[in-house]
Structure 1
Amino acid sequence: MYYHGLVSGPRDREQLRPTAPNYATPGTLPSSADYLDARNAGSSPEGDYWSRGRSFDIRHAPNPVYTNSSENAPEQGVWIRAFDKLPDDARTQQIALSYVCDYTILEPSLRALGLNWSSPGLVTASLDHSMWFHQPARADEWLLYAQESAGAQGGRALNLGRFYSEQGDLVATVLQEGMIRHA
């Protein structure tokens, strides 16, 4: 985790905050639908679900792990935004963020293991999931979901995710243990 400033006294502690990692901006990345359509994978049942069956525009940096896993670094950035405008209610925004946080959180461990969502025999499940909200954010505006694998072994994986606003402010943190089994 990266931090702004140094802590030298009680007043300075208020300024201690994580800095968003540097990933490509959402406007420079293909949507899931564009990525899959370019590979003729969007017409399969899985491709249709990944590209059009969700309520969120999802853009990966580096490339998604839907059908291949060419990069096996245990980290990624995912830009996420609801397709439709959501009510201004803060609770609704948190609920939407809670819902979408589970879509891609296992992917850093899949990358590290050289797997992708289309790997034959792949079985995944969320086992334990926690989320902390640090400040209000809109799920219908672009949020960077910076994710990393803390480790994967014995069919289990631990992943950490941090949501940042486009301005770089940390708005939520996610920790998830998941099952990843590959036959």
Structure 2
Amino acid sequence: MLEITKRLVELLYLAPIGDDHFRGDSQDLGFPHVFGGQVLGQALMAASHTVENRLCHSMHAYFLRPGNQHMPIDYEVQRVRDGRSFAVRRVSACQDGKEILTAIMSFHSLEDGFEHQAVMPDAPDPASLRSEQDWGKLVAPHVPEKLGEIMTRDRPIEIRPVNPVNPLKPEKRPPHKQSWVRALGPLPDDPVLHRCLLTYASDFSFLGTSLNPHGVSFMNKGMQIASLDHAIWFHRDFRMEEWLLYDKDSPSASAGRGFNRGNFFNQQGTLVASTTQEALIRQR
């Protein structure tokens, strides 16, 4: 396993600090606050530690406060229900005695059933695309040094955007985005870890979908953007070191909020997970 990926995996595997209580460190990605995907992934790992022989199939979370990346995060899991097929857990993530995220997750035993799925949309092969870091190197000379370092640094999650927006000169586009994503593997054969990694990755470049029709980016003066909530559904098994197409659209923006939806497909066209997120997209 690559060292940079190993650090992320270690970040997601939380340390137990008591009955159904866990603690995780934070990773400095250069953002002002803790990356939301990290808190989501760690919360899912905390809940998964309290469930046996079942995997998470859905997660609904609210971001309550920005997290401090220089402080550990404590995760408290409440065992809401253990049924014959499903188990439900509630997770609270806290720093300095204050809740920064609350989430509820459902776990399901493997069973057979009806099968159908959406058709995978057309997308260029990931081998034909540049990574976000490659695009960042083109932009870096024109932005402050610290921001340039953030845009070009190595990451455990490789993202190759389709038709990326120039954040310095955003243009109005339809409310749709695509990117190929994968973890730089190889990775252990732990389906819980792969779900936590996809949860982590699902927060990258998601809310920007609702900015597309308005010709603005996070770099526009006066823009205040933040994830408000996040939901994810796991449909089928997958491996995060294999390319997944993240196809995103935004059906609506109003009242300073943008609503976003996403689907993850593997390269064989199988729909493996779906996401939704509402974000604050306020222009002061």
Runs of 4+ in 1 over 6 A off after TM superposition: none
Distance 1:15 1:94, change over 3 A: closer
Distance 1:173 1:45, change over 3 A: same
> Would the aligned equivalents of 1:65 and 1:107 in 2 still touch at CA under 8 Å?
no
Question: Which one has the largest radius of gyration?
Answer: 2
Instruction: Find the partner of 2:133 among 24, 33, 44.
Output: 33
Distance 1:41 1:141, change over 3 A: farther
Unaligned stretches of 5+ in structure 2? 1-112
How many Å apart are 1:146 and its aligned residue? 0.1
RMSD: 2.0
Give the number of aligned pairs. Answer: 171
Normalised to the residue count of structure 2, the TM-score between the two structures is 0.56
1:94 and 2:94 equivalent? no
**1:17 alignment partner in structure 2:** 117
More contact order relative to length (CA 8 Å, sep ≥ 6): 1
Question: Structure 1: which amino acid aligns with 2:116?
Answer: L
Distance 1:28 1:71, change over 3 A: farther
SS at match of 1:148: strand
Instruction: Find the partner of 1:60 among 116, 137, 161.
Output: 161
1:167 and 2:255 equivalent? no
SS at match of 1:177: strand
Distance 1:131 1:65, change over 3 A: farther
Looking at secondary structure, tell me which structure has more strand per residue: 2
1:112 and 2:210 equivalent? no
How many Å apart are 1:26 and its aligned residue? 1.0
Distance 1:65 1:83, change over 3 A: farther
1:154 and 2:255 equivalent? yes
Separation in 2, partners of 1:99, 1:65: 24
How many Å apart are 1:46 and its aligned residue? 2.5
Post-superposition CA distance 1:95-144 (Å, at most 9, x none): 00001101111121111121112112222111121100001111221100
Q: Percent identity?
A: 33
Distance 1:24 1:43, change over 3 A: farther
SS at match of 1:161: strand
Distance 1:125 1:15, change over 3 A: same
**1:4 alignment partner in structure 2:** none
**1:45 alignment partner in structure 2:** 146
Normalised to the residue count of structure 1, the TM-score between the two structures is 0.85
How many Å apart are 1:167 and its aligned residue? 0.8
How many Å apart are 1:15 and its aligned residue? 5.0
Question: Structure 1: which amino acid aligns with 2:130?
Answer: P
> Would the aligned equivalents of 1:32 and 1:50 in 2 still touch at CA under 8 Å?
yes
Post-superposition CA distance 1:34-74 (Å, at most 9, x none): 11213435873223323325421111112145433235110
Separation in 2, partners of 1:86, 1:64: 31
1:121 and 2:225 equivalent? no
